[in-house]
Amino acid sequence: MIFLHLHRTSGSTVWHSLAHAAVRNQIPVFDLYDGSLKSFGTPFDTQSALNIYFPGGRDPNNLLKNYLCHHHTRQNLDFGLPGERCQYATILRDPVERFISDIFQIKLILARGIDEPEKYPLNQGEIAWYRKVMGEELYALFRNPDTDPNELARVACRTPYYRNYYFNTLWSVLFGRPTLEPTYYDSLIDEYHQLKLAAAVHERFVYIGMYPHFKETASAIAHLLDFTFDPEAEIVHVQNGSEKPALSAETMTLLHEVNADEYRLLSLIHTPEVVETGLARAASLRLDSDSTHAQVERLNERVRELEIACARQAADARDAHSQLAALRMSRSWRLTAPMRAILRRLRSDA
């Protein structure tokens, strides 16, 4: 099983608690995030980390019945892990709460990079990756200790990295490419694609908890992996939070508006029966739309063909007109003018 660790959801507490208990129960544990960081200097080279932990790839002799894997990035692991399809578990959080917690945690990390450059180098590893995916404007706001929290939130919520965080992360993990860079869904997030993603989540995720119920989440995952776990005694509380300043009412309204699709996705994830019927309806509408689109394309193609034919006929007419004009200006035409006049007179008399 893969524990998909989403930022600022108590994922660190769930993962470390499960990892310690799994080792005690002799369940193999693989930390792709930490393994990538220690081996390759970046936590985002999960495919290379997979080759360390699973050198046999999809070799049938390399299959494991039970294992616990920590995945903390957006890469699709289906190409490297043993087994036909990986099973996932995760814990989610209210989208706006998660976003606010995340941006001020990143601000804290970048501040550490300024104060302790040797421990937190700004031009490599995780911090350099954040700089790349966030863009220079947002990165500068994170680095500036005097940045207004409301301005930081307003700018951050519109960047590709933060916008539709759950949708992009889950889409990349389930449908993305096995590349170092995460896959962003760069088209319109319509109802069909929300339903498609929710259906895939229902198929691939055996458990999804909700913050702040991290004890219940860890207990459920341990049960699914068939090992004993005492949440009261074995929960490892990871304190890696940051202060979250109060944001204005206007900013909070904006954050909820920007995250409307995220709330819709979470609602679909927690209502499988709605997804099943909605996906069938959306797929039908999509087929009708595709059929109509195909008909329109055929008509447009016919219009283009007629336009080309008309253009050719117009060009032929212009050529004929030019040839006729040239003929009438020629010396032979002028010399034979009296003869043509006599012929016209004779035809008229007849």
Give the sheet arrangement for strand 2-4, strand by strand: 29-31, 68-71, 2-4, 88-92, 205-210
pLDDT in the model for residue 276: 59
pLDDT in the model for residue 180: 58
Q: Quote the CA–CA distance of 52 and 47 in Å, as a whole number.
A: 9
CATH assignment at residue 75:
3.40.50.300
Same-domain pairing of 313 and 198: no
Which range marks the domain in which residue 320 is found? 288-335
Same-domain pairing of 207 and 327: no
Length of the chain: 350
Site of tokens 């996906």: 279
Q: How far is CA 241 from the centre of its chain?
A: 26
Same-domain pairing of 312 and 264: no
- Is the residue at 280 inside a domain? no
Q: Quote the CA–CA distance of 198 and 193 in Å, as a whole number.
A: 8
pLDDT along the chain (350 residues), means of 10: 94 96 92 88 80 69 75 85 77 96 89 69 71 86 92 94 92 79 66 88 92 94 92 89 88 96 92 62 57 67 76 80 77 78 73
Same-domain pairing of 116 and 20: yes
ω into 60 cis (within 30 of 0)? no
Is the CB of residue 98 less than 8 Å from the CB of residue 62?
Answer: no
pLDDT in the model for residue 7: 93
Q: Is 90 helix (H, G, I), strand (E, B) or coil?
A: strand
Q: Quote the CA–CA distance of 10 and 243 in Å, as a whole number.
A: 16
pLDDT in the model for residue 48: 83
* Cα 262 to Cα 29, 92, 96, 265, distances in angstroms: 31, 11, 9, 5
pLDDT in the model for residue 4: 97
Same-domain pairing of 318 and 175: no
- Backbone phi, then psi, for 261, in 5-degree steps? -65, -30
The helix/strand count (H/E) of the chain reads as: 16, 5
Same-domain pairing of 247 and 330: no
Is the CB of residue 150 less than 8 Å from the CB of residue 248?
Answer: yes
Same-domain pairing of 202 and 323: no
Same-domain pairing of 191 and 250: yes
Number of domains, the chain: 2
